[in-house]
Amino acid sequence: MSDRGYSYKGSGTNSLGNHYCARDYGDSAANSNAYHYSNLDGSYYYSNPNGSTYYNNGNGGSTYKSPSSQSSSSGYGSSSAGGSSGSGAGKQ
């Protein structure tokens, strides 16, 4: 564990040009294996050490899920609000 409170696990870019980074926050974190992705289409996804997640679709839509699984979305329009919690994670 570094002075920053995490150990670096790895990062890279896949064949599609999408970036990922992973860190280990240790046993005391709700989610010890936190990571994020950023994609060429402008979308990105964070899985945070406190257990929350955040997804931004790169087009003004975003979804935040708290550690207690309360979800909040914005920018998707009325027809698809809340429908993309974490869907960007699969774009690695």
pLDDT in tens, 37-59: 999 999 999 999 999 999 999 99
What does the alpha-carbon distance between residue 45 and residue 47 come to, in Å, rounded to a whole number?
A: 7
pLDDT band at 23 (very low <50, low <70, confident <90, very high): very high
Q: 31: which residues sit within 8 A by CB, 6+ positions away?
A: 25, 47, 48, 49, 50, 51
What does the alpha-carbon distance between residue 57 and residue 87 come to, in Å, rounded to a whole number?
A: 9
- pTM, two decimals, is 0.74
Beta bridge partner(s), residue 46: 36, 54
Task: Return mean pLDDT, the chain.
Answer: 85
Q: Is 28 a residue whose pLDDT tops 70? A: yes
